Structure 1
């Protein structure tokens, strides 16, 4: 099978799966995207070539985008491995690919450093995190804010800031834009398990 045929099969499977997940028959989807049920059936089964002018209304009707329907199915390495930064007492799991179109990085962090104050950083944008377990100490300029399990924080990153553990290890889920990723993850040892 060629790479083009593989992608074609993936697109067909995505259309069928999205339609089935919504509980729609071929007739129901056909009415929403203004194609005949027989054309949709042939597209899903591979008996008809898929054209761009058909994919756009199909994607729209399914609540998807053309990009989502045709994106590569490259899932060779789906395991998320922790990256340890022993110098700063943190372990990071990157939950999104580094090359996302939106430029956002989602990461889970386990911070164990309690006594050592981290350097306060400033960068353009906003940061957001929620505490999964433990208590985070958010240093915002001269203020110290304790963010407990189940709580979230959002703040301007033009205020000098740092996140550390308070009273024991803390696990957070954070969303960073490109500036935040650079500022917060640049010092992290990116080799698996912290080994060089």
Structure 2
């Protein structure tokens, strides 16, 4: 979806960090380029150019992307956010569904650590192998979860948990026909590792 430049674009163009921040926030939300573009009513090619600095977003685009990524325009522009409320009340934020997975926010947005409650239906296709910086911790609440880490596959029952480096190629899916629900915590910082993993494409 192409558009003509507007005066507001020049203001955004003066902030070179917008492009990588858009990409970081999208990845932090676990959205593919195609999924985020569809929700923002943009073409994947246009969103890709926004994330690489090839085009500058207008204010309406920033508003839409901020809503999708669960943050504010100020955060997208790199401004310091106000002090956040430490308590997340049940039902305060509406759940988000992406490719069949349902995400319930259980922590503040735009933090270095993201906490979510995730529902995974059985048979969904969102179980592609992922590799990215950071650490992940998950705790199974209901159902059975299948976790593939590198060449190993584990089946986790309620009460089981896993903690691993996100640079290890990993895949998560529901192993039980009724689906699975788990708590998920992801950090953007990589833990010290004397034998670092190498990202796979």
TM-score bucket (shorter structure): 0.3 to 0.5
Give the number of the structure whose residues are more often helix, by fraction: 1
Q: TM-score, normalised by structure 1?
A: 0.48
Q: TM-score, normalised by structure 2?
A: 0.47
Larger RCO (CA within 8 A; separation ≥ 6): 1
Greater Cα radius of gyration, structure 1 or 2: 1
